[in-house]
Amino acid sequence: MPGVRLQATEALVRIFSGDIRPKPAIETISPSLDRRDRAFLMEIVYGVLRYRDTLDWILGHFLKKPDSLDTRTVNNLRTAIYQLYFMRVPERAVVNEAVEVEKCFGQKDRSAQPSLVNAVLRNIIRQKDQFALPLKPEKQDSPASEIALNTSHPRWLVRHWIKRFGEDEARLLAAANNMRPPFTLRTNTLRTTRGALLEQCRQEGMPVSPTRYAPEGITVDGQVAYDDLSFARGLFSVQDEASQLIPLLLNPQPGERVLDACAAPGGKTTHIAQMMGDRGEIIAVEKDPKRLAHLRENISTLGLTSVKVINADVTEPGERRTFDQIPFDRILLDAPCSATGVIRRNPDVKYRHKAADLLLFREKQLQLLKTVSRFLKKEGTMVYAVCSTEPEEGEQVIEEFLKTDREFRIIDADAPLLKEFISGGILRTFPHRHNMDGFFGVTLCRRD
């Protein structure tokens, strides 16, 4: 499949340049591919993203100056090494196809180096026993170095986890981030029930089971794609189980006025509408115009009428006047964050942030929280949530907010299903503990 390997390499070039995210990169490439080729493409692209630093460490032992290579050659070598170490592809096929990919680059650019690719890969195969997994750093100055190398996580993040959880659990969390996440649905209870949807899926030959915690969730097992579920269009949304727990913290009621301050892509927005029986008013605010189409599509597909979408930035006073004239009964602030809790779905997250970025996110999140809290009714409730594993974006934001705005306090969620995840009023989920995305959530209200 040289065409697929070539497409995978080109997708990786664009992703690592910051030009595009993995999912749209694959969607752009794969419409003409059959199921088998698309699965092979996804395995290579996501595999390289999960293990980029591990692959580069191996490559660095066979090249004097890997940084001097063209980015296409580097990513061609990464895809080949990934296949050699993590896939059941014959070694000869890996080498031959990588050379052919490099020759394709050579048709447009003289910087392509098929001879080098051939030599490097053959050397790696000959010495593979010396670089067997798990790898051992030559200068292992701490447990973080070995975990970071073998799981391709930044050392600063692994150090954070070791300090919080200990070495063993940090290793488990990093390993969980490199596992394929479950394919989870949320039943559209306005049109069907979870039991009915489970039965419908089974009749179509889909291997499905109810989620353990989320009351409307369904886990789809096996190699099933979104398009395979076209028979149930409008009866579900794709949403991780942890994400489905956040609206339970909010506990919206029919007839209320609710603000979703950072709404796209709309998983929690539409869930809130379902919990309200699509009766009431939900203001879904999203400042990024590029994400509005997806938000509107999700609302339309589920047949919801109670949601009003507004393209605005809640921190801009001039724009707030379009929706904040009447206080809200409930507010959800699912704030932009580092996304360290969804690394297994978006492995490129590992390479996009530095430790200092967490503090920048914290300042923006705190500002958002201070702003939207002004829109809440005196007796209303507000949920702050992030898909981050890091306390800088969770506990520390809330701690600082409560210091500067003593009008608010944390309240316990009135949801027995959430007791396993809540301590001191704070909800936490983790991939390695719950096989869910990593989320933080807390419910706030004004003091009596």
The CATH number linked to 82 is: 1.10.940.10
Task: Tell me how crowded residue 412 is: count the other CB atoms within 10 A of its CB.
Answer: 12
Res 64: pLDDT: 83
- For 145, the token pair is 């170095």
Q: Considering only the C-alpha atoms of the chain, give the largest distance between any 2 of them, rounded to a whole number of Å.
A: 74
- Tokens for 386? 């992030």
Examine the domain organization and report whether 304 and 427 are in the same domain. yes
Q: Which of 103, 99, 148, 90 is nearest to 121 (CA)?
A: 99
Closest to 14 measured CA to CA, from 28, 32, 2:
28
Q: In this predicted model, what pLDDT tens digit does every residue of 71-84 receive, in sequence order?
A: 999 999 999 999 99
Residues 227 and 267 in one domain: no
- Full domain range(s) for residue 339: 241-446
Q: Would 113 be classed as within a structural domain?
A: yes
- Domain tally for the chain? 3
Q: Does residue 163 sit within a domain?
A: no
Give 90-127 pLDDT, tens digit per residue: 999 999 999 999 999 876 666 779 999 999 999 999 99
- Do 223 and 287 belong together in one domain? no
* Full-model pTM: 0.94
Identify the pLDDT of residue 319: 55
3-state class of 65 per DSSP?
A: coil
Q: Are strands 281-286 and 257-260 parallel, antiparallel or unpaired?
A: parallel
Query: Is position 201 annotated as part of the catalytic site?
Result: no
Residue recorded with tokens 């170490």:
85
Judgement on whether residues 290 and 386 belong to the same structural domain of the protein: yes
Domain end position, chosen among 238, 262, 284: 238
The confidence score (pLDDT) of residue 448 equals 74
Token look-up 């149930």 returns 232
Task: Tell me, yes or no, whether 280 and 304 share the same domain.
Answer: yes
- What per-residue confidence (pLDDT) applies to 321? 58
Q: Check residue 140 and give its pLDDT.
A: 65
Task: Give the domain-ending residue among 117, 133, 149.
Answer: 133
pLDDT of residue 246: 98
Catalytic residue among 104, 262, 337, 387: 387
Report if residue 34 sits inside a domain.
yes
CATH number, residue 294: 3.40.50.150
**151 within a domain of the structure (yes/no):** no
Per the omega criterion (within 30 degrees of 0), is the bond before 134 cis?
Answer: yes
- CA dist 23 and 28 (Å) reads 9
The answer to whether residue 157 is domain-embedded is no
Same domain for 212 and 312?
no
30 domain-assigned: yes
217 and 82 together in one domain: no
Whole-angstrom distance between the N-terminal and C-terminal Cα of the chain?
66
pLDDT under 70: residue ranges of the chain: 1-2, 107-110, 140, 318-322
Query: Is the same domain home to 320 and 437?
Result: yes
What CATH number is given to the structural domain containing 200?
3.30.70.1170
Report pLDDT for 29.
81
